[in-house]
Amino acid sequence: MRIEDELHQNDFQDDYRRLLANLLFTNNWVNQQVMPFFKELDLTLQQHNVLTILRGRHPEPVCFGEIQERMADRNSNVTRLVDKLIEKGHVTRIICPDNRRMIEVRITGTGLEKLRQVDESFPLLLERFHTLSQQEAVQASQLLDKLRG
């Protein structure tokens, strides 16, 4: 559906204002698809992001700074996210013996199992995006990359 119809607006002052409104509206729509998906799996999107970063380096540890710089949402509070994941048994945190200011985080077997569950269910979430063809999905992604410069 066109953004004008979604917002009950006849037109926009210019194409860039239309683009901005469309991006903001679409971001909210994506969140409405993604958040319940992860909630059903007892995770948040940000917790999932941390777990996937850790799985990518498993069995090696990852320091807080690297997690922060690799997060999709860089405003996330990594300390709070790691604390929640520790409570759930998905990660461990160890103070580096050589540098006490460095904290290393590792994914646990429970965390790997949680990601396996997410991976199993992920096709159900992605079905919601199949209103675009694969070629359109690639094009949309390339345009978003270009927009961010």
Is the pLDDT at 97 greater than 90, yes or no? no
Q: Are 80 and 86 in contact (CB under 8 A)?
A: no
Within-domain flag for 144: no
Q: 61 in a domain, yes or no? A: yes
Range of the domain at 27: 1-35
In a domain, 1, yes or no: yes
Beta-strand relationship, 62-63 and 91-95: unpaired
Instruction: Assess whether 46 and 24 both reside in one domain.
Output: no
CB contact at 8 A, 106 and 91: yes
pTM: 0.89
30 lies in the same domain as 79: no
Q: Examine the pLDDT at 100 and tell me if it is beyond 90.
A: no
d(CA 135, CA 130): 11
Do 99 and 28 lie in one domain? The reply is: no
Residues 67 and 106 in one domain: yes
Of 34, 15, 29, nearest in space to 147 by CA: 15
Do residues 100 and 46 both lie within one domain?
yes
Mean pLDDT of 7-17: 93
Residue 140 within any structural domain of the chain:
no
Q: CB atoms < 10 A from the CB of 111, how many?
A: 22
96 with 48, same domain?
A: yes
Query: What number of CA atoms fall less than 13 Å from residue 8's CA on the CB side?
Result: 0
pLDDT reported for residue 103: 87
Query: How many independent structural domains does the chain possess?
Result: 2
